[in-house]
Amino acid sequence: MGAVTPLGNDAESFWENLTAGKGGAGQITAFDPSEYAVHFACELKDFDPTRWIEHRKARRMDRFAQMIIAAARMAEEDSGLDIEAETERTGVSVATGIGGLQSFQDCYDQLLDRGPDRVNPLSIPAIIPNMGAAWVSMELGTRGPLASECTACAASNMAIGDATDAIRLGRADVMLAGGTEAGITKVGIGGFSAMRALSRRNDDPAKASRPFDAERDGFVMGEAGAIVVLEELEHAKNRDAKIYAELVGYGLSSDAQHITEPDPTGRHPARAMAMALEDAGVNADEIDYINAHGTSTPLGDASETRVIKIALGEEKARQTPISSTKGATGHCLGASGAIEAIAAILAVQRDVVPPTINYEVPDPECDLDYIPNESREWKTDVALSNNFGFGGHNACLVIRKFTG
């Protein structure tokens, strides 16, 4: 695995800071936010793309592509794969919710300021959402399946799930799967703020992202790129690969409800969870931990609480530790599922469940065990990770401890 996140620019730093209860929110530095309603976000710190990408190439790509290449390079090294030797059996599945938002903004500014003949000719390749996946494939030399999901905040769960299916169907032996998002731009902050989706705690950004807390008032924008290497089990064993965990279940559904609001009944996201459990051959009683979507929005967190109760049953839901790592990372949109998959994988491997930070005031509508503020040693054999996206996209993954 590999990751660049608001909590650190590698997977291990991310995990250490996450389990220590640290948060990534602070004043926006990407632009001057003083005229905006929201002044803070969860940005990457000290991210230098030229550590992983040749300088000339890095200038041609949007930040969302730079971030996923960095994550992919780290994942390649961590995996010990010889991609060159198996180029046609190795694929890439990388998601994003928006794509090259900064490049889109730059292109529009050039158009207005200098006219249509002076627009950067590389603008479109920098903007289009598939280029995160395409750049990973070109940089690493993979020639197997190449896919890019663009399904809002469910996107990287779907990228990982679809990559799993590519291996199951025999189309690849190895897939690099994950997501990337670089939405902390003027149009990103302005747009999400205008729709009242973002927290406005400018006086206390460190505590603004507070999933399941009664005083939550919106999400905090985050940015991240993360990759997990998925490999067919016998292929991994034959090369004596380091195996963190098994991905055993994947479920999908649609709300068919509203462009932004969640299904008020909770039935349809719960169906995605049930499908993932069925796919995994796992009973609800076997779930040890849930990494929740938990965005810190008033409607979303209350809805997900209902969803979990429907999917697991009321009694089991109350017995199961649940956390939203978005309290620490903010909402990284299309990259959320990938960094949360890494959190769930490491929870299973290390029997530690990460906390929901900034949880201070209980909400009667959110009445489950959200692992408040401190990580917990917890025997975790099976974890479930939820992601739900604008437009009604629901995607769920089931991760199980690898026992050999």
Listed residue (209, 234, 241, 237) closest to 336, CA to CA: 209
- Spot the catalytic one: 153, 332, 366, 396: 153
- Does residue 331 carry a catalytic annotation? yes
Indicate which residue of 268, 293, 393, 396 is catalytic: 293
Q: Give residue 42's Cα distance to chain centre.
A: 14
Task: Say if residues 144 and 171 touch (Cβ distance below 8 Å).
Answer: yes
Name the active-site residue from 268, 331, 332, 396: 331
d(CA 163, CA 81): 17
The C-alpha atoms of residue 340 and residue 168 are separated, in whole angstroms, by 23
Report residue 370 as tokens. 């959200």
Q: Would residue 293 show up in a list of annotated catalytic residues for this protein?
A: yes
Angle (CA) 304 307 312, round 5°: 125
Instruction: Determine the Cα–Cα distance for residues 179 and 119; give it in Å rounded to an integer.
Output: 28
Question: Catalytic: 153?
Answer: yes
Which residues lie below 8 Å from residue 230, measured CB to CB, with a gap of 6+? 160, 163, 164, 167, 174, 175, 176, 177, 247
Amino acid identity, residue 118? R
Residue 152 backbone dihedrals phi, psi, to 5 degrees: 55, -135
Could you tell me how far CA 290 lies from the centroid of its own chain? 15
Phi, psi (degrees; rounded to nearest 5) at 327? -60, -30
Catalytic annotation, residues: 153, 293, 331
